[in-house]
Structure 1
Amino acid sequence: MIDIKTLEENIKKMILPIITQKKYKAYKSEELREIKVYTGLLPPDPEETIIPAITIRTHKVKNSLDKKILTLVISTGIFNKDVKKGYEEVSEITQKILDEIQKVGIIENRFEILPEAEWVFPEEQPVPFYLSFIYINIVYEKDYRTDTDNWINGGD
C-alpha cells in the first residue's frame, strides 16, 4: 500500500535546508517571514496569511501492470510588490527545489524519482503574489493484485 504521507514528508525534508534562514515579504506586513512548508492541502486560511508557502501533495496516481506512478506537485507561493523581484524569487526557489529533488534517485528504497520533471510558471499570476508548480513523477513499488502473476509470466 502506498504511504503518500511518508513520501510527502521526505520531500519536505529535502526542501527545508534550501529555504531555511531565508525570509520573504509578507502581505500587509513589514516583517520578513520564512516560508512555511505544508504537505497535503493548504490550510483554509486566505493566501494573504499563508504566503510565503510551499505545498507538497500527491496530484494523481496511475497504476499499470508494470508500475505505479505518482505525480507530486510542489507549489510555491510568494508575495512581492516588485514584479521583477517577485518573479526572480519564485523562479530561484523553484529551480533550487527541482535541482535538489532530482539529485535523489530513490527515497526509502521504494520511491524512485523519475528524471522527467516539469516546473511551470503560469502566464497569469495573481500579482503581487507569484506562484510556481513543479510536477515530479515517482515510480512506486508494485502493490496491485497478484492472482494473475502466473498467467502474465507465461505460466498456467
Structure 2
Amino acid sequence: MLEYLPPLNDHNLPYPDTIHPIVVHFVIAMVLFAVICDFIGYLTRNSRLYEVSWWNLVFATVSVFIAIIFGQVEAGLASPYGKAVTDLNLHTLIGWSLSGVLAAVTGWRYIIRLRTPQKLPLPFLGMGVVLFALVCFQVYLGDKLVWIYGLHTGPVVEAAREGIL
C-alpha cells in the first residue's frame, strides 16, 4: 500500500512545500480583522463594520478546519525532537480548541446578527478579546515551531534522517 504514496521531498512532505501556514494565515488575518472591525464598529456605532466582521468570521471558521487538516498531516510528517514535541502537541491542542471556540463564537454571532444586527453586546466583545489572545498565542507557537525548531526545513529534515537529532 505504501508504494502508492508519493515519495517525501527534502521538506519531508509529499507535496512541494507546507500548505498549513498558507491556509492558516488567512484564518489569522480574518479572525484578527473581524475582532478589530467589531471594536471599531462598536466605538463608532458603524454597524456596517459588523457585517464585515460577520463574513470574516464565517470564512475563518470554514478555513480553520482546512488549516487543521493540513496541520495534522504536516505534524505527522514532521520530525519533532525534544522540546519541539511539547510545543507541537500544545500547538495541536490549541488549534483544535481554537476551531471549536471559533465555531462557537461564529454561532453566537449568527444569533446576535438575527436578533440585533445593529449592536453588539459587551460580553461578545470580551469574547473577541479572548479569541484575539488565543490566536496570537497560537501564532507564537507556530512561529516557534518553524523559526526556532525548524520543522519541515531542509537542514532539520536532513539531520533527522541522518539520526543526528
More strand by share: 1
More helix by share: 2
- Fold shared per TM-score above 0.5: no
TM-score (norm 2): 0.27
The one of the two structures with greater contact order (alpha-carbon pairs below 8 A, sep at least 6) is: 2
